Amino acid sequence: MRKLVVYGESGKRYPVFLGRYLLNRDDWLGEVEFPSSQGVIITNSRVGPLYEEIVSSFFSQRGFTIQVVTIADGEEYKNLSTIEFIYNQLLSWGLDRKSFLLALGGGVITDITGFVASTFLRGITYFSIPTTLLAQVDSSIGGKTGINLPQGKNLVGTFYPPQGVFIDISLLRTLPAREYEEGLAEVAKTFFLAGGEALSLLEEKERILSRGEDLLEEIIFQSLSFKKRVVEEDEKEKGLRSILNYGHTIGHALERVEGYGRLRHGEAVALGMMGEAILGEKLGITPSKVVEKQREILIGLHLPTQLRDNIEREEFFAALRQDKKKEGGKPRLVFLEDFGQPIWGVEVEEEKIGEALSYLER
């Protein structure tokens, strides 16, 4: 088992445990501060039947009282109605400020649980048991919580770190290939930003795709270590943290135009990274060898680098305008001067982004 400790700006710190079969052992439990013995698992209709029983009995056997809220599965449920449904459940059980929440699921569940925890009774403790690769390498640390509005993704949210994160790699065995591969998009993004030796881990594409767990543990550890360094320096995204949005400006707009569900988040991020790399090349920032290497790695990880259909430009620009990372009306993007050398906050005209998009179309 490996352990990282993430420090927040407010001085708050939380442990992240990483390993296999964490729920078959409890040597890590003593290092975690639970505010009381009253906890509620927040999960969904797909992950719940797989793991909720294991998690509840783990805690019940150790003296905790655990209840479960199960919500519908899907990004489309990351909304205000779901939040209200969860508040109502928690109130009906008479939970107090010492109760805690346990997120059991992918990024949708960890984002929702963090949001509920940060607002319910003005803030209660929560922990995460992320069950997708994306959530294990990315959304489980850094403290961003959020929900979607009809106008766009993650438009409402808070910065509210968990009190502990338990990453069990064995939970990934039931994750379908498409969801696993889209998690690899966030891994690739992290390693493009980190550069150096981490990047060479991505060369082992066969072992990555067959989920070799030793390699996976190393990859998750390296991804988290990089993200930890970034969020510790800039938790509230005033500067450096925005590098983690590499591929996300174009990616989020594509995800919105294509419709959530049709193009999954990780796939949109892979396409977004390709679009932004090509745009960087056109602007004279990103060398063409970096663009080509990036394409080769993404293809090797079974990620899309070209769009299936052409994109309606007006819809795309409308989606782009919903993005939060812009000032003075112009989108601000992250570009790679090289692997390991990102620059951020680069203002780009919308038309230029539209031009880059045409290189992703067949």
Ligand X SMILES: NC(=O)c1ccc[n+]([C@@H]2O[C@H](COP(=O)([O-])OP(=O)(O)OC[C@H]3O[C@@H](n4cnc5c(N)ncnc54)[C@H](O)[C@@H]3O)[C@@H](O)[C@H]2O)c1
Residues annotated catalytic, as ranges: 122, 144, 186, 227, 237, 241, 245, 248, 252, 265
Please, what is the minimum distance in Å from the beta carbon of residue 160 to ligand X? 10
- Shortest Å distance, C-beta 55 to ligand X: 12
Which residue has its beta carbon closest to ligand X? 107
What is the end-to-end Cα distance of the chain in Å, rounded?
A: 45
Could you say whether residue 106 binds ligand X (CB under 6 A)? yes
Q: How far is the CB of 328 from ligand X (least distance, A)?
A: 25
Which token pair is 216? 């996976």
CA 145 remoteness from chain centre: 10
Put residue 121 in one of left, alpha, beta given phi > 0 → left and psi -120 to 50 → alpha. left
Q: Is residue 44 involved in binding ligand X (CB under 6 A)? A: yes
Q: Which candidate, 189, 212, 183, 215, places its Cα nearest to that of 302?
A: 183
Site of tokens 């969904």: 44
For CA atoms 21, 23, 29, 33, the dihedral sign is positive
Binders of ligand X among residues 206 to 265 (CB under 6 A) are 265
Q: Does 189 bind ligand X (CB under 6 A)?
A: no
- Closest separation in Å from C-beta 288 to ligand X: 29
Contact letters (x/-) for ligand X, 57-96, by CB under 6 A? ----------------x-x--x------------------
Between 98 and 236, name the residue whose CB sits nearer to ligand X. Answer: 236
Cβ(240)–Cβ(344) under 8 Å?
yes
**One of 58, 69, 95, 144 touching ligand X (CB under 6 A):** 144
Q: Angle at CA 139, nearest 5°, toward 308 and 88?
A: 105
State the binding string over 148-187 for ligand X (x if CB under 6 A, else -). -----xx----------------xx-xx---x--x-----
The string of DSSP letters for 47-108 reads: HHHHHHHHHHHHHHTTT-EEEEEEE--SGGG-SHHHHHHHHHHHHHTT--TT-EEEEEESHH
Residues within the interface to ligand X (CB under 6 A): 44, 46-47, 50, 73, 75, 78, 105-109, 111, 131-132, 134-135, 138-139, 142, 144, 153-154, 171-172, 174-175, 179, 182, 265
